[in-house]
Structure 1
Amino acid sequence: MKNSLEKANKTKIARRFIEIISFLDAVQEATIGDVVRELKLPQSSTSDLLYGMIDLGLLYRDPLSRSFSLTASAALLGQRGQLDHVRDGEMVRLLDNVARESGLVAILLGRVSLDVQIIGWAGQPVNDGWSDIFRPGMKRSLTSSAAGQLLLSSVSSSRRAAIVRHLHADADENHKFSVAQMLERLDRCNSSGRVIGRFGFNSSARIAAQLLPGLSPEQALSIGLVVDRSTRWPLDRLFDLLNEKIGSYCASVEGERIRVDGIQTAA
């Protein structure tokens, strides 16, 4: 029991750390009160965590405004081990461009083991009920979300069949699904490289998502637009926009780098 509580507390601290980093990244700067109100966190422990992040060199505190902002050290966390297009900021620009031109929430999702995970997003949610959805690290079963199904479709047919059967066996009675129908849907996703369907994550929203090309199944990423009933964009135009922006993104990534004898250098 003690070990379980300790593990839960460590997970809670790690989650708060990531939520604070993501919140400050979105708003640029915020006071302790802003962080507490937006993330619905207790003030005393949040204050301790913020000042601890200052000690680690991850945050800067303005003595006049008493606001906190991210340092360059925070921006560089983990960047060396990432794919080039993640490290050089092209992925962020892609999300921003899609969100700006559509007026919708553009979201980036990836696969973590048997789950689909929200990696990042851009744009403002049009529905107040979505505020608890767009949190960093949120995960759900691959088969529970259309975007998760799209990511799962990128693995080999034999492997995805095994994963689907495993997820079906582990699902509770309220989340059981037809294995045959799910495999057929995954085949269609694999053929088209895109999907429109239920967003999941305890939301009634839908998502139009497309795989980013050139990535291995283990590194597969999808970018999508989250829509609800008030969205006026026709579905075909959503995919036209995604195709256009992903095409520009791929051209930009390819144009910035050349490979010479297996060594990557700036073009």
Structure 2
Amino acid sequence: MARVVKSAIRVLEVLELFDRLQREASVGEIARELGYPVSSTSMLLGNLLERGYLRHGPDQRSYFPTPRVTVLGAWIEPLLTPHAEVMRMMAELGEATGETIILAAPTRDQAQYLHVVPATTTMRMHVGPGTMRPLLASGLGRVLLSTMAEDKVRHLVMRHNNGPLADEGRVSLAALQRELSSIRARGYSVVLRGVTPGAGLIGMLLPLEVSGLPLAVGIGGWAREMKSRQQDYVSLMRGAIDRHLRPHVRSVA
């Protein structure tokens, strides 16, 4: 009989419990339902939170799976998941452009990469699922910010400017609001000075939500390539979204 790795089994049991509950749950409830010690349950949930598989509920004490869990096995049985077309769309964009294709959703003050199609060109962005980028300072982060209420954006800016990262550059609320208005008006974002030196990204919101969270897709590569092929890539993205997602537009719990 194969040796049982207790921590691995517990991770799966936690995810299966959320599948049954289909709502947020506290450390105490999860420990009680699964018969685990509260201390080890708290540590396990904290690890899953750090890895981007769980997020806090509004009370900051309960937990809920992130969209990363939703898309984790979408490639295995695509007909069973509403996000199958997202995967097909990303594969199509990757084949058409040769660039890195990224799917992201907001997690606290970060944009979390849920799925990545690696580039086939010489410029490969070394990112993978689970990568975090600041909402305030990344291309896909700005796209996701454009869906948020003004008071939420203001809160994020104030927290950044008053926090330890302010030394790396304060964010102008007025300038950010102008940029977000521009993203809403034209339907996409272009960042030519991103987190990765020399890289750029064109990002676009998807007409689909998961667990009430918006999703965005981006094409990333050399900044000069993003600049010179901006209109071509925007047209490709819009066409792919229309073909793959518009017929299936709906929120997914």
Same topology, TM > 0.5: yes
Aligned to 2:5: none
TM-score using structure 1 length: 0.58
Aligned to 2:56: none
Aligned to 1:140: 133
SS for the counterpart of 2:129 is coil
Q: Distance in 2 between matches of 1:135 and 1:119?
A: 8
Aligned to 2:113: 118
Aligned to 1:239: 234
Aligned to 2:174: 180
Amino acid at match of 1:136: P
Instruction: Say if 1:229 and 1:219 are closer, same or farther in 2 by CA, change over 3 A.
Output: closer
Q: Distance in 1 between matches of 2:192 and 2:212?
A: 23
Q: Decide which structure has greater helix share.
A: 1
Aligned to 2:205: 211
Q: Distance in 1 between matches of 2:74 and 2:243?
A: 25
SS for the counterpart of 2:82 is helix
Compute the displacement of 1:11 (Å). Answer: 4.2
Aligned to 1:55: none
Instruction: Say if 1:165 and 1:190 are closer, same or farther in 2 by CA, change over 3 A.
Output: farther
Aligned to 1:221: 215
**Which runs of 5 or more structure 1 residues have no equivalent in the other structure?**
19-73, 258-267
Amino acid at match of 1:253: H
**Which runs of 5 or more structure 2 residues have no equivalent in the other structure?**
1-38, 54-71
Q: Is the 8 A contact 2:157 2:171 kept in 1?
A: no
TM-score using structure 2 length: 0.61
Aligned to 1:85: 82
Compute the displacement of 1:203 (Å). Answer: 3.8
Compute the displacement of 1:168 (Å). Answer: 2.5
In structure 2, which of residues 170, 185, 189 is the aligned counterpart of residue 191 of structure 1? 185
Q: Is the 8 A contact 2:125 2:220 kept in 1?
A: no
Instruction: Say if 1:218 and 1:148 are closer, same or farther in 2 by CA, change over 3 A.
Output: farther
1:156 aligns with 2:149: yes
Compute the displacement of 1:172 (Å). Answer: 2.9
SS for the counterpart of 1:106 is strand
Q: Is the 8 A contact 2:91 2:117 kept in 1?
A: yes
Q: Distance in 2 between matches of 1:97 and 1:76?
A: 16
Instruction: Say if 1:250 and 1:203 are closer, same or farther in 2 by CA, change over 3 A.
Output: same
Compute the displacement of 1:109 (Å). Answer: 1.2
> What is the aligned-residue RMSD (CA, Å)?
3.6
Map Cα deviations across residues 4-63 of structure 1 (whole Å, 9 max, x no partner).
xxx69x849x85xx9xxxxxxxxxxxxxxxxxxxxxxxxxxxxxxxxxxxxxxxxxxxxx
Instruction: Say if 1:186 and 1:168 are closer, same or farther in 2 by CA, change over 3 A.
Output: farther
What is the aligned residue count? 185
Instruction: Say if 1:167 and 1:85 are closer, same or farther in 2 by CA, change over 3 A.
Output: farther
SS for the counterpart of 1:212 is strand
Aligned to 1:108: 103
Q: Distance in 2 between matches of 1:125 and 1:111?
A: 27
